[in-house]
């Protein structure tokens, strides 16, 4: 992972929680937040990963290792409450939790769709609701990680695409209602980002990976820190007039369409 930019105290005095913050884009965001002077607690369902992330961030002695089941409303509420107790305030919450399963839409079953809704969309909503009482009087930022498939059809991953559309709906509705309290809610839509979870798949399935690159004007896939730096920025006061509208971190993929231009 590329080292975070530590040239500014952009998040000095800010404290927050990242659900799904122990790997990939979530952990990259945590690194950038710390580099910019913020305090952050990374939470996930795996206690070993939580402890490892806290050590990696240099925060193991400062904050508890919080585990959370992002499909369970009560678990999310308890995680937010414990984070506020440990931090003393809540300026931002980032929701990175999610799941992706492949398969044709004609074989999508109800159990898989329900699980995806619980994690991708409902979990984002319950996290926002849990954060709301702590932000209502002071304002804050809620960053919800969507996807390119929040906006477009994405063949072969129907449970993911359908529920990521719903995730975008959660963010837009929270932004619309809570802006009056100074709470900014921003959906972020990454493009194809290389993570530890998909690195082998991207390497082995070269034709598909090449097709992603072909559809990306920057002619490459993204890195986790490139999403992390954007999310960290959105948590700061420098993004104080940004809310509701999706932020694409996709190398331009969303504007290219199906037929990229190639010039010799």
Which amino acids are annotated catalytic?
147, 160, 164
Look at the block and give the residue holding tokens 């190639």: 262
The dihedral of CA 242, 246, 252, 256: what is its sign? negative
Q: If DSSP codes are grouped into helix, strand and coil, which group holds residue 253?
A: helix
Distances, alpha carbon 255 to alpha carbons 66, 151, 216, 249, 259, in Å: 39, 12, 9, 12, 11
* 6 beta partners: none
141 neighbors 91 (Cβ within 8 angstroms): yes
Look at the block and give the residue holding tokens 């990939």: 24
Q: If DSSP codes are grouped into helix, strand and coil, which group holds residue 186?
A: strand
């Amino acid at each position: 992972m590329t080292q975070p930019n530590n040239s500014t105290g952009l998040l000095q005095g800010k404290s927050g929680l990242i659900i799904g913050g122990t790997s990939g884009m979530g952990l990259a965001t945590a690194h950038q937040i710390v580099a910019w002077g913020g305090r952050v607690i990374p939470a996930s369902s795996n206690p070993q990963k939580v402890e490892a992330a806290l050590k990696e961030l240099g925060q193991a002695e400062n904050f508890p290792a919080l585990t959370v089941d992002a499909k369970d409303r009560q678990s999310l509420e308890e995680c937010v409450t414990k984070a506020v107790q440990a931090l003393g305030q809540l300026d931002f919450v980032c929701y990175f939790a999610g799941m992706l399963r492949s398969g044709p839409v004609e074989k999508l079953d109800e159990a898989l769709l329900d699980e995806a809704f619980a994690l991708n969309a409902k979990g984002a909503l319950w996290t926002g609701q849990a954060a709301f009482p702590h932000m209502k009087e002071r304002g804050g930022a809620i960053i919800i990680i969507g996807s390119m498939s929040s906006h477009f059809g994405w063949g072969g991953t129907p449970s993911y695409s359908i529920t990521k559309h719903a995730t975008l709906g959660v963010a837009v509705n929270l932004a619309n209602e809570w802006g009056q309290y100074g709470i900014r809610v921003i959906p972020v839509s990454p493009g194809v980002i290389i993570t530890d979870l998909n690195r082998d798949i991207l390497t082995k399935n070269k034709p598909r990976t090449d097709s992603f690159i072909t559809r990306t004007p920057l002619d490459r896939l993204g890195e986790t820190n490139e999403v992390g730096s954007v999310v960290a920025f959105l948590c700061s006061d420098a993004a104080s007039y940004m809310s509701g509208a999706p932020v694409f971190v996709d190398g331009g993929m969303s504007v290219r369409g199906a037929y990229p231009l190639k010039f010799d």
